Amino acid sequence: MDTNSKFLHTIANPRINTNGGLLHLDMQPTTSSSSDSAAEGTGDAKWASRLLRDCAAAMSDKDSAKIHHLLWMLNELASPYGDTDQKLAAYFLQALFCKATDSGRRCYKTLISVTERSHSFDSARKLILKFQEVSPWTTFGHVASNGATLEALEGEPSLHVIDISNTLCTQWPTLLEALATRTDDTPRLRLTVVAATAAAKSAMKEIAPRMEKFARLMGVPFEFTVIAGLNRLGDLTKDDLAVREGEAVAVNCVGALRRVDVEERNRVIETIKSLNPKVVTIVEEEADFSSNREDFVKCFEECLRFHTVYFEMLEESFAPTSNEKLMLERECARSIVRVLACDDKVEDCDSERREKGRQWSERLREAGFTAAAHSDDVVDDVRALLKRYRAGWSLLLPGEDGIYLAWKEEPVVWASVWKPS
């Protein structure tokens, strides 16, 4: 059955099934695949985008009949196991559905608890490492930030790196190795990790001994602290971090600032400034779900745009039947529901409202930071990194506010370096 016929085909008993908290097609094997879509060639390949946007518009207009009709159609065609269009349809449909039924918060909390129950350190580790192996999405930020941090702290004997990120310490082994092999006198390193989610907290119990052991192997005097008492990142205070005299402080925020509630972001940045760091490295995904949060359609479109790029990237980076890819897609599902179907503030839940590099830069400047460009050496290292992956990745250097990782010319991840003015 080609896509066109599916569009028109009426099914007497629409069946909506769930798996992992998703609405998707029943268990008929999906015949539609990317090859089908390609064969169409008339534009039906992007049917998901059209339907989804139409539905979002209908919601904004409160056109009840149209909403139902579109939701129903999407449900027929969507599948989290199909091609990219079907996946996008599935996950965005879920968010739209929750929005229509005002059940976003509940759905989100359910999705979170399902994840927590099903994830172990082992699976989280496997997931992150595999993702890093097939895509520079996260390693880009690591290389750029580590390079900038090392350069800024060169010559300092006592380092304190404060890590506020979602990378479960996968950034640090290469930094430890660099400290051990590059400089003549290996400095002491104190690493403080801020773990604000339950998943992160439990993972840290596993990660701490490993980091310590690895540092010992590298011969770097090492001290590891986890700050696990926070419910939300926004609650972070200077005292929590206990900076000591004589330490050179570097703050590393990877995928973290977006998890702070929008109104608290400036305050968190000020807290960071109050630590008097020598360097602050910020890495965030390049999307704007923040400035448009009052405008559902705009926000929806931006969300769809970003996730389309992301899903396509995942599709081309992983093997077709990869379990890790599926898990990453499900992570997106949660994020999409959170952004589109929930209120801005949900107690004890992260925000997920991403902002673009330009926007973060404004905030950082307001707080008294100046941008520092990545050095040529670091840029070279990043280029070398990208070479090690499949084609499609490139580096954009528009100005001094940071560098961008681009997937097929589309900027997707922003990495920047800041110093107190």
Partner 1 sequence: MPTEEEAATSITSTQNDAVRGSNPPVPPKKKRNLPGNPDPEAEVIALSPKTLMATNRFVCEICGKGFQREQNLQLHKRGHNLPWKLKQRTSKEVRKRVYVCPEKTCVHHHASRALGDLTGIKKHFCRKHGEKKWKCDKCAKHYAVHSDWKAHYKTCGTREYKCDCGTIFSRRDSFITHRAFCDALAEETARFTAASHSHTPNHFITSSLGLGQHHFPPNLPLWVAHGNQQSHDHNSIAKHLQEMHHQFTLDHPLVQNPNPPSLYQTANWGFGRDQFPNQNPIMIPILKEVSVPSLFHAQNQNQSCAAISATALLQRAAQIGATTRDGDGDKLCGLYGTTSSGGSGLGSDVELSATLDHEMEMYPPLKRCRRPVEEEIGLGETRDFLGVGMHTICNPSAINGWI
Q: Is 377 a binder of partner 1 (CB under 8 A)?
A: yes
Interface residue with partner 1 among 5, 8, 9, 12 (CB under 8 A) is 12
Token pair 């990869």 in the structure block, residue: 322
Torsion of CA 186, 283, 162, 175, to 10 degrees: -20
Q: Which residues inside 385-404 make contact with partner 1, applying CB under 8 A?
A: 385, 387-388
Residues 18 to 77 in contact with partner 1, rule: CB under 8 A: 18-21, 26-27, 68, 71-72
The DSSP output letter for 408 is T
Pick out residues in 321-360 that bind partner 1 (CB under 8 A). 321, 323
CA 70 distance to own-chain centroid? 29
Please give the full DSSP string across 96-128, using - where no structure is assigned: HHHHHTT-HHHHHHHHHHHHHHH--HHHHHHHH
Q: Which residue in 14, 368, 398, 399 binds partner 1 (CB under 8 A)?
A: 14
Rule CB under 8 A: choose which of 40, 212, 270, 315 binds partner 1: 212
* DSSP letters for 184-210: SSPPEEEEEEE--SHHHHHHHHHHHHH
Q: At which residue do the structure tokens 């600032």 appear? A: 257
C-alpha 40: how far from chain center: 33
Q: Which span sits near partner 1 by CB under 8 A: 124-132, 335-343, 354-362, 365-373?
A: 124-132
CA distances from 90 to 4, 70, 93, 325 (A): 18, 13, 5, 15
| CA proximity to 241, closest of 225, 217, 222 | 225
- Residue closer to partner 1, measured from CB, 100 or 262: 100
> Is-contact 196 259, C-beta < 8 A?
yes
Residue window 251-290: x/- pattern of binding to partner 1, with contact defined by CB under 8 A: ----------------------------------------
Please count the other Cβ atoms lying within 10 Å of the Cβ belonging to residue 6.
Answer: 18
- Window of 180-188, 232-240, 280-288, 342-350 that interacts with partner 1 by CB under 8 A: 180-188
Shortest distance (Å) from residue 299 CB to partner 1: 23
- Quick check: 415 and 281 in contact, CB under 8 A? yes
Task: Pick from 1, 4, 31, 122 the residue near partner 1 by CB under 8 A.
Answer: 122
228 binds partner 1 (CB under 8 A): no
Among the residue ranges 109-117, 270-278, 343-351, 363-371, the one whose residues contact partner 1 (CB under 8 A) = 109-117
Q: Contacting partner 1 (CB under 8 A), which of 34, 40, 63, 132? A: 132
Tokens 């992301």 found at:
310
221 in contact with partner 1 (CB under 8 A): yes
Give how many residues touch partner 1 by CB under 8 A.
81
